[in-house]
Amino acid sequence: MKNKIVSAGKEVGDKAKEASSTAKIRLDIRSKEDFLQKQYAELGKLYYEAHKEEEVPEQECFASIAETLGEIQALKDEILVTQGAVICPQCGAKQPKEHTYCDKCGAHLSIFEE
């Protein structure tokens, strides 16, 4: 009886090790797949930046990307207007609309005066 209990305990321990090992391997696989997706995205971005002005078969995709980037920028600008803020053209810091100078870099913000 004692041997059966010890054997069953060992079997449970082995199964737990196997499950743990499998989970770790799956996590490693997922991590590497995520890394690949980031690399593919970076490669695509580099390709887009290098060829966006050229006549290439991917031009329709480039136009869609450019349009979406424009829409994103318009939405960011809308948020700034809602917050009563502007972005410094020199350093990119968010500034209250009432400021004449950027409090981060000192650049003149007069271009935003109405």
Per-position pLDDT tens, the chain of length 114: 778 777 777 888 888 888 887 888 888 999 999 999 999 999 999 999 999 898 888 888 888 989 999 999 999 888 888 888 899 989 999 999 899 999 999 999 875 444
Run of H or E including 39: helix 2-51
CA distance 54 to 84: 39
Prediction pTM value: 0.54
Q: Which two tokens stand for residue 82?
A: 């809602």
